[in-house]
A and B are shown apart, each in its own frame.
Chain A
Amino acid sequence: MPTVTAPKEPAPSSKSKGAPKPRGSNAEEMATRQRDISVSEFFAKNRHLLGFDNPRKALLTTVKEAVDNSLDACEEGGILPEIVVLIEDLQPDRAATAKSSRYRVTVVDNGPGIVRKQVENIFGRLLYGSKFHRLKMSRGQQGIGISAAGMYGLITTGRPMLIFTKPKASQPAHHIELAMNTKTNRAEVTIDEETKDFPPSRLRSVAPGARALAAEGLLLDPAAFPTGTSVSIEMEGRYQKGRGSVDEFLELTAIANPHARIVFVAPSRESGADEDESLPLTKPPTTQTAAPGAGPTVTTELNGGIVFPRGVAELPPETKEIQPHPKGIELGILLQMLKDFDATSGGTLYTFLQECFCRISPQTASSFCSKIGVTTRTKAGDIEPRTAEALFKEFESAKLPPPPTDCLAPIGVRQLLAGMLKGVRAEFYAASSREAAVYRGRPFQIEAAIAFGGELPADDTARVIRFANRVPLLFQQSACSSFKAVTETAWKNYNLSQPRGGLPVGPLVIMIHMASVWVPFTSESKEAIADYDEIRKEMKLALMECGRKLGTYLRKRQKMRREGERRDVFEKYIGEISKAVHAINGTDAKKLYDVLLAQARERTAVADQLLDEDGKVVRNDPIDDDGVIVVESAAAPPPNIASAPLPPDPSASAAGSPNRRSKASRSSKNAPDQAKLFS
C-alpha cells in the first residue's frame, strides 16, 4: 500500500511567561507523529480526485461508475446489456431552496453477476480491480470506481451499500449490505442473505414513472434478468438536469453504446431553485403510445421515466490485451518491468524483450542487446540502471513496426448511425470510422458522426459530444482535443457558417469517439483528451469525411427542393390546362393530364433521385453502407434497426420494418386529387 506522509501539524504554542519556546519541533518529535495513511483515508479527504467535488457531481460519478461497470460486465459476459438506473428522492419534503438532498441511487444490470467471494473486494475496496494491470481498451482506467461511491455515501449518510447479485440463473440471489472501513481499506458486511427476489420488486414501484414503465413491461421484468447485479447507494447529492447531469450522461452513453438498453427513472423534481439550461439532445414527446409489443424505437419519455432503447442487436467485438510497445513506455516503468520479469522468471534480457513487448522480433531483440553492449544471454536481473537507460534511448530511436490494432474495438459506422438515429431527432446522419493509428506507441482509433436538421435548433451553435472508450466526456469541453479538432475543421466548406475559431452554427450534433488502450487525459479528472498531433489529425480527418457527406446532402437537398418546387408549380397547372383544352376541343382531359404529368416528372427528375454521395443508385438497406442515413419525412417513424438483420440481406430488411430509405423525394401530395379533377 503506498505510504503518504501526513502533513506537518502546527507546533503547540507555549503560554509560559518569560521567553517563548523556539518554534519548530526536532526530527524526533516529528517522527512520533508520522504514520501510515491508508488509501481510503486519503481519498476520503480528497474526494475531488475521485469525482465527488460537489453534490451534483457526486451523484453523476456514482451513476457513471455503476453504469460503466455494468456495461463492462455484460460485454465481458457476452450479454446484451439491459441497465436500469433509478434515483429516489429520500427527502421530497425538503425546502425548495435546499441545495442538496438525500438520494438513493440504484443501478441494476443483467450481467453475469458477481460470485459471493468477490463482492467485498469489488464494492468495498479501493484500487482493486481487473483492468488496471492490463493494456486493454476498457471504460474505466483505474480500479477506484464503485467503491469510492460507496465510501462517499457512507461518509455523507452513514448508510451502507445495498447489493443484490445473482451469478447463477438457477440459484437465488445474494443480498448483501456492506460498508467500507477506511482505515483498513476493507469492507465490513452487515447483512448477508439469500433471496429469490431479483431484481428487487420494490424497485418497480419506487416512483410513478417506475410504475408506469413496469406496467408496460418495460421495467425490470424478471425474465430479462436471469443473472445480474443491483447496487444501491444512499448519498447526499443534487439532482439537476442540464450540462454535466445524470440525464446527459445516460443519453450520451446510450448513443455510444447502441447495443445497450437503458431505462432511467428520475426523481420528480430537481434540487434547488436554479434554472439551468436544459440541453437534452432529444425532445421526447410527453406521451407516446409504444408500438404494440416492441417498445419505443427512439429515446422516449413515459410519465417521468426515460427509455433509451437498443439500437443494434450485436455486442461490440471483444478486445484483446496487448503487450506494451517499446515506444510507449516510460523509463521508470521499464525498470519496474525488468525487476518483475527477473522476479517471476529470471530469464534473459533477450527473452524479456520478446515476451514483454509487442513488435519485437528475435532479430530486433538481439540488435537491441548488441546496441547496449550486452549479449543475448545476459540476465534481465543483471541489467544495471544505466544500461536500462541506454536501452530506453534505443527504444526511442529504433525503427519498429506500429503496435497491433486488434486490441481496439471501435463502435463502428453502423452502430454509430444506430446510436445517433435513436438518440437524436434529425433528418440527416453520417458517420465515419478511421483506420487505427498510433500516438506514442499506443494504438488508437477515431470515429466521428454527425446529425443534421430535423428537430435540432437551427440558430444555435453545433453541439459537440465527446467520448473516450465509449464513455461520455461531460466537462472541460474547451480543453479537449476533440473540441479543438471541431473548431479547426472548416465547416464552411460544407455549407455551414462558422465564426473564426469557433463552432459551426446550425442544427448540428457532432460526435467524436476515441478508442484506445490508453486514452491520454489532460488531468486526473479524465474529462478532456490531451492534445497530441496524431490524435487531432485523425479527428479532423474523420470530421471532414462526415462534413463532406453533409455537404453533398445539403447541396442535393437544395437542388431537390428547387426541383420539387418547380414540379409543384407545374403539377398545379396541368390539371387546369387539361380541363381547358378539353373544353375547347374535346380531347380526353385525363389522357392529357397523364401525359403532361409524365413530362413534368421527367423535367424535374432530380427531385426523385435516390440520395447518394456519388450519384450511385442506393441499395435498399435502411442503413447505407457508405455511412449516411436520410430521413424521408420527420413524421415517418424511424426503422427498427434492432430488428433488421445485418446486411447483406436487403430483401429481408425491406420486408418488415418501415422503410426509411435514403431518398428525399417530394411526395405527390401536392398534385391535385385526380378523382376530384375529372368528376
Chain B
Amino acid sequence: MAKKSNTTAGEARDRVNARLKGRDAETQKKLLGLADMVTKKVLGGNEPIIDIPTRSRSNTTWNKKRGILEMGDAKQGRQLFNLNQAKQFMQTLLHASTIKDLIEVNKTSSLRGVYYKAKHTVAGTKENTFDDQDESDPILEDLEVSLNCLREELHLFAAPAGGMVGNITILDRGDEINCRRMGSGGYQLPSIVEPDIIEFKKCEAKFVLHVEKGTVWQRFNEDRFWEEHNCILTHGGGQPPRGCRRLLQRLARELKLPIICLLDCDPWGHYIYSVIKQGSISLAFESSRLAIPEAKFLGIRAKDFVACNLSDAVKIDLSENDIKRAKEIAAYPWFEKHKGWQKEIELMLDNGFKMEVESLINKGISYVTEEYVPERLRKKDWLD
C-alpha cells in the first residue's frame, strides 16, 4: 500500500490509489465469483464449466447505428473433462489465481510477467503449465471477457507503445505532464490510460493528428507542427495498441477533438484506420471503449500520386496478398456502402501500387508537414 504523503503531488497520488482500491475490490469479487462457481459445481458432483464469450468472426456484428463492431452473446463452455480443453481450463484458473495475487500486493505486471509467474512444471509430470507466451495471452483475454473486466482492472499492462506531444496537459498517476514540453522524445503513451490513471487537465489543441509510424511522428515533432497548427500529435507505432486507441477515443469523446489519421496508402494502412474507426474482432468486446467511428482518413490517398506529382520512384507494387487484402477490406460492412472508400480502394487497385507516407520526402524534406497535411486540413479533404 502507498504511504500517505503531504505534498500536492503526493496527495494527488493518494487520491488515485484510493480510487484504484475501490476498483480492485470489484475485480476481486469477480475472481472470487469464478472460483466459487467452480467449487460449487465440483462439490455438488457436477462438472465444472467456465463460460467464455466467443471471440470469433461469427460472434461479431457491426452495429450500424453506433458504427462499431460488437460482440454477440455466443459463449463457449470450457470444460475440465474434455481432452481438448482440460489444459486450458487449468490455465484459466491458474491465471485467475495469479491475478488475484497481483491485486493483493497492488502491483501490475506485463503479460509476459504473468506468463512467467504461472509457468511451472505440473506436479508429478514432465509437462509445463505453459510452454509459450502464445498460450498464455489468449487465456488472459478469456478472463477479461468472461469476467467483464478491463485488462487494467486485472492489473495487466502491455508494453507501452506510441507517443504524444501537443497543446495539452495531463495528470499521469498524479504526476503533471505538460505535453508542450516533452522535448524531442515526446510523452510515451502508457498501456493503461483509464480516467483513474490519466486525467486531462488543460487542453487548447483543436484536433489530433495521428500518424502510423514513430519516424513520421519525428518529422512532425521536429517541425513543431503541433505548435503551428495547435493540435496534439500522436503515433501508434504501427498498429496502435489498446492504450493508444483508448486515449484517442477519450480525446475524441471527452475533449471533443477530431481525430485525423495520416497512414500509408496500402491495405495495411486502411486496416489500421478501420480498426481505429470500428474496432477489431479480437477486441470486439472493447469496441465501445476503443472505437472512434468519426475518425478521419487524411492520406495517403491513391489519387495523390497524380495530385502531388510524385515520381515513379515512390511506387511499390501491390502483391497478390495486398490485392486480396484490399478486396477483403472493401467488403467490410462499413466500407461496403461507402462510395468514397469503394472508389479509394478501386483506384489503388487500378494504380497497382502502394505508397508510404515517408515517400513524400521525395518532394521535399518537410513537404509533408508544410504543404501536404495543411492543404488537406484546409480543404477538409479526407475520408471518413
Contacts and interface: CB of A to CB of B under 8 A. Distances in A.
A612 B195 CA distance: 69
B123 A580 contact: no
A569 interface: yes
A584 B32 contact: yes
Contacts, number: 89
B321 interface: no
Q: Please indicate which of the listed interface residues A583, A600, A672, A673 has the most CB atoms of chain B within 10 Å of its own CB.
A: A583
A591 B43 CA distance: 9
Contacts of A595: 42-43, 45
Interface string B66-85: 00000000000000110100
Given A573-B89, A592-B39, A584 B96 contact: yes
Interface in A571-593: 572-577, 579-581, 583-585, 587, 591-592
Q: Please indicate which of the listed interface residues B32, B87, B93, B100 has the most CB atoms of chain A within 10 Å of its own CB.
A: B93
B124 A580 contact: no
A573 B122 contact: yes
A210 B37 CA distance: 72
Contact of B81 (A592, A600, A670, A673): A600
A577 B43 contact: no
Given A585-B36, A595-B42, A570 B123 contact: no
B189 to A, nearest CB: 32
Given A576-B129, A580-B94, A580-B96, A596 B42 contact: yes
Given A592-B43, A672-B123, A581 B87 contact: no
Contacts of A584: 31-32, 34-35, 93, 96-97, 100
Contact of A670 (B39, B93, B125): B125
Nearest to A573: B90
A677 interface: yes
A583 B101 contact: yes
Contacts of B129: 576
Interface in A276-316: none
B38 A581 contact: yes
Nearest to B120: A576
B42 A592 contact: yes
Contacts of B304: none
B86 interface: yes
Contacts of B47: 599
Interface string A664-679: 0000001111001100
B328 interface: no
B254 interface: no
A217 B93 CA distance: 64
A377 B192 CA distance: 124
Contact of B39 (A566, A574, A581, A673): A581
Contacts of A579: 97
B123 A603 contact: no
A390 B364 CA distance: 128
A575 B80 contact: no
Nearest to A591: B43
B80 A673 contact: no
A570 to B, nearest CB: 6
A90 B93 CA distance: 77
B127 interface: yes
B81 A603 contact: yes
Contacts of B100: 583-584
Interface in A134-149: none
Contacts of A572: 122, 124-125, 127
Contacts of A676: 123-124
A672 B121 CA distance: 12
A576 B88 CA distance: 12
B36 A672 contact: no
Nearest to A669: B124
B124 A671 contact: yes
B126 to A, nearest CB: 10
A575 B120 CA distance: 13
Contacts of A577: 38, 80, 89-90, 93
A566 B84 CA distance: 10
A479 B89 CA distance: 62
Nearest to B36: A585
Interface string B194-224: 0000000000000000000000000000000
A572 B122 CA distance: 7
A274 B124 CA distance: 51
Nearest to B28: A584
A573 B43 contact: no
Given A592-B43, A595-B42, A573 B81 contact: no
Contacts of A599: 42, 45, 47, 81
B94 A581 contact: no
Q: Please indicate which of the listed interface residues A569, A576, A595, A600 has the most CB atoms of chain B within 10 Å of its own CB.
A: A576
Given A572-B124, A575-B122, A595-B43, A581 B35 contact: yes
Q: Please indicate which of the listed interface residues A570, A573, A595 has the most CB atoms of chain B within 10 Å of its own CB.
A: A573
A580 B81 contact: no
Nearest to B81: A603
Contacts of B90: 573, 576-577, 580
A671 B127 CA distance: 13
B80 to A, nearest CB: 7
A599 B39 CA distance: 13
A599 to B, nearest CB: 7
B94 A576 contact: yes
B264 to A, nearest CB: 45
Contact of A673 (B86, B122, B124): B124
Contacts of B125: 572, 670, 672
A558 to B, nearest CB: 16
A242 B184 CA distance: 88
Contacts of A585: 32, 35-36, 39
Q: Please indicate which of the listed interface residues A570, A671, A676 has the most CB atoms of chain B within 10 Å of its own CB.
A: A570
A671 B96 CA distance: 24
B115 to A, nearest CB: 15
Q: Please indicate which of the listed interface residues B47, B89, B122, B125 has the most CB atoms of chain A within 10 Å of its own CB.
A: B125
A200 to B, nearest CB: 60
Nearest to A677: B123
Contacts of B34: 584
A601 to B, nearest CB: 11
Contacts of B94: 576, 580
B80 A570 contact: yes
A569 B124 contact: no
B97 A573 contact: no
Q: Please indicate which of the listed interface residues A570, A577, A599, A673 has the most CB atoms of chain B within 10 Å of its own CB.
A: A577
Interface in A629-679: 670-673, 676-677
A596 B90 CA distance: 13
A677 B97 CA distance: 17
A573 B80 contact: yes
Given A576-B129, A577-B80, A580-B93, A570 B39 contact: no
A554 B31 CA distance: 47
A579 B97 CA distance: 9
Given A570-B80, A587-B35, A599-B47, A670 B124 contact: yes
Given A575-B123, A585-B39, A676-B123, A570 B97 contact: no
Given A573-B90, A576-B123, A584-B32, 13 more contacts: A569-B87, A570-B86, A576-B90, A580-B93, A584-B34, A585-B39, A595-B42, A595-B45, A599-B45, A600-B81, A672-B122, A673-B124, A677-B123
**Top 10 closest pairs, chain A to chain B, by CB:** A672-B124, A584-B35, A585-B35, A573-B90, A580-B93, A580-B97, A672-B123, A583-B97, A587-B39, A581-B35
Interface of B: 31-32, 34-36, 38-39, 42-43, 45, 47, 80-81, 83, 86-87, 89-90, 93-94, 96-97, 100-101, 122-125, 127, 129
14 contacts: A569-B86, A572-B124, A573-B87, A576-B93, A576-B122, A577-B93, A581-B39, A583-B101, A584-B31, A584-B96, A592-B43, A596-B80, A599-B42, A599-B45
